[in-house]
């Protein structure tokens, strides 16, 4: 089985589905001959041609609006927004149009658009190339939000996203685009949306994470293990719909929970997870649920590693829950 990084796994998923379904088209800024700023679409233009690999102007609202029109006329577009920070000019198209077509048409029209975009910090991109805006879109009914943390999941989740009829925002962790490597099948497979994974089992504390923070959670769990603390790591993989069953099973087992996300703390997705757990499992909790998050500031440039959660911050929260 070949070893791939996340970029290669995403490209493999796109190639697999474009070969299988001629309705699949990709579009975005510099995604054609150039192959994308991160090279995720490298080689697609040469294989599938300009009719299916479409370079667009720098106009995010236009990219998503065009993709919506394509989907309504029977295509299955996969637009790329070059950085997650650039998605905001398309916010109206995504929230008020894309996410609502099935509902407003009484189910007569689906709108199978999969929006790919890299998110998160760690590449010294400053405040215009480092944000994690997932909570804004999780809050949007009608839109699915997916956040893989490794190459195997990236390919399987992207294939599953391209094969269902609801719009999906597929958020890729650019900090580990090439750093995360693992075995990925050359062939076809899909990972069901809405199902979390448990990459590390434990008995004393549950750590919930997604995207680029899963590796941070796993690093903290290894450090905790050397101190005799057993940590279970749950990778959500899909943020909307999220796998509440797996989360509750883990928290009921351990009695303690830490949520890790890179986005700012206030109104971050961690707050929704905490509320969902406490509404259903408060009698199992041995300590308050803690959050390790980004700060309530614009994403900094020179201080980005002070802003982003790291393994030591997560380990400190783990210890706090045990000392309660």
CATH number, domain containing residue 278: 3.40.50.920
Q: Which residues in the chain belong to E strands, given as ranges?
A: 3-5, 24-28, 53-55, 76-80, 114-119, 144-146, 168-173, 181-183, 197-200, 205-209, 231-235, 238-240, 257-264, 290-294
Query: How does pLDDT run across 142-188, given as a tens digit for each residue?
Result: 999 999 999 999 999 999 999 999 999 999 999 999 999 999 999 99
CB-based contacts of 96: which residues, under 8 Å, 6+ apart?
A: none
Tell me the pTM: 0.96
Q: Which of 183, 210, 243 is the last residue of a domain?
A: 183
Domain membership flag for residue 307 = yes
Domain membership flag for residue 253 = yes
C-beta separation of 210 from 261 below 8 A: yes
Domain membership flag for residue 190 = no
Residue 6 pLDDT: 98
Residue 72 pLDDT: 95
Residues 99, 154 within the same domain: yes
Residue 302 pLDDT: 86
Percentage of the chain beyond pLDDT 70 is: 100
**Owner of token pair 């009914």:** 141
Query: How does pLDDT run across 71-124, given as a tens digit for each residue?
Result: 999 999 999 999 999 999 999 999 999 999 999 999 999 999 999 999 999 888
Residue 263 pLDDT: 97
Residues 168, 255 within the same domain: no
Residues 41, 90 within the same domain: yes
Residues 165, 245 within the same domain: no
| CB half-sphere exposure, 292, CA atoms < 13 A | 28
**In CATH, what number is assigned to the domain containing residue 39?**
3.40.50.970
Residues 106, 21 within the same domain: yes
Q: Which domain holds residue 48?
A: 3-183
Report, as an integer, the average pLDDT of 43-51.
Answer: 97
Domain count within the chain: 2
Task: List the beta bridge partners of residue 116.
Answer: 80, 170
Residue 282 pLDDT: 97
Q: Which residues in 156-284 belong to E strands, given as ranges?
A: 168-173, 181-183, 197-200, 205-209, 231-235, 238-240, 257-264
Q: Which of 183, 206, 221 is the last residue of a domain?
A: 183
Residues 175, 255 within the same domain: no
Kind of pairing, strands 257-264 and 144-146? Answer: unpaired
Residues 172, 250 within the same domain: no
Report, as an integer, the average pLDDT of 231-249.
Answer: 98
Domain membership flag for residue 189 = no
CA dist., res. 10 & res. 247, Å (int): 27
Kind of pairing, strands 24-28 and 53-55? Answer: parallel
Residues 112, 87 within the same domain: yes
The answer to whether the bond into 241 is cis (omega within 30° of 0) is yes
Q: Which of 129, 159, 183 is the last residue of a domain?
A: 183
> Mean of the per-residue pLDDT values for the chain?
97
Q: Is the pLDDT of residue 1 over 90?
A: no
Q: Is the pLDDT of residue 235 over 90?
A: yes
Percentage of the chain beyond pLDDT 90 is: 95
* Nearest to 244, CA basis, from 263, 257, 231, 230: 257
Residues 242, 209 within the same domain: yes
Q: List the single range of 175-184, 213-222, 235-244, 298-307 with lowest mean pLDDT.
A: 298-307
Domain membership flag for residue 191 = no
Catalytic residues: 129
* Nearest to 178, CA basis, from 22, 40, 36: 40
Residues 298, 250 within the same domain: yes
Tally the residues of the chain.
324
Residue 197 pLDDT: 98
Domain membership flag for residue 18 = yes
Domain membership flag for residue 69 = yes
Residues 203, 153 within the same domain: no
Report, as an integer, the average pLDDT of 272-292.
Answer: 98
Domain membership flag for residue 77 = yes
Residues 314, 213 within the same domain: yes
In three-state secondary structure terms, 271 is helix
């Amino acid at each position: 089985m070949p070893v791939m990084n996340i970029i290669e796994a995403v490209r493999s998923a796109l190639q697999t589905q474009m070969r299988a379904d001629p309705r699949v088209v990709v579009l975005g800024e510099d995604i054609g001959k150039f192959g994308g700023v991160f090279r995720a679409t490298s080689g697609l233009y040469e294989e599938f041609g300009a009719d299916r690999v479409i370079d667009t102007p720098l106009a995010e609202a236009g990219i998503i609006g065009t993709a919506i029109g394509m989907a309504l006329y029977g295509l299955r577009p996969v637009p790329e927004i070059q950085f997650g920070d650039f998605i905001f000019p398309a916010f109206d198209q995504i929230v008020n149009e894309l996410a609502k077509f099935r509902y407003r048409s009484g189910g007569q029209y689906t709108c199978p658009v999969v929006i790919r975009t890299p998110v998160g910090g760690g590449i010294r991109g400053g405040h215009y190339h480092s944000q994690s805006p997932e909570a804004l879109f999780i809050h949007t009914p009608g839109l699915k939000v997916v956040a893989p943390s490794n190459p195997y999941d990236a390919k399987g989740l992207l294939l599953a996203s391209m094969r269902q009829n609801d719009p999906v925002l597929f958020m890729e962790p650019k900090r580990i685009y090439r750093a995360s490597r693992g075995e990925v099948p050359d062939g076809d497979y899909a990972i069901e949306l809405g199902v979390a994974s448990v990459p590390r089992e434990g008995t004393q504390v549950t750590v919930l994470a997604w995207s680029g923070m899963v590796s941070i959670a796993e690093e903290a769990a290894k450090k905790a293990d050397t101190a005799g603390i057993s940590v279970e790591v749950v990778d959500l993989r899909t943020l909307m719909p999220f796998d509440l069953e797996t989360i509750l099973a883990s928290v009921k087992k351990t009695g303690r929970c830490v949520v890790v996300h890179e986005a700012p703390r206030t109104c971050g997705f961690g707050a929704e997870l905490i509320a969902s757990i406490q509404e259903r499992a408060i009698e199992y909790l041995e300590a308050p649920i803690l959050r390790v998050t980004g700060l309530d500031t614009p994403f900094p440039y020179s201080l980005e590693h002070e802003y982003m959660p790291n393994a030591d911050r997560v380990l400190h929260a783990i210890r706090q829950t045990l000392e309660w």
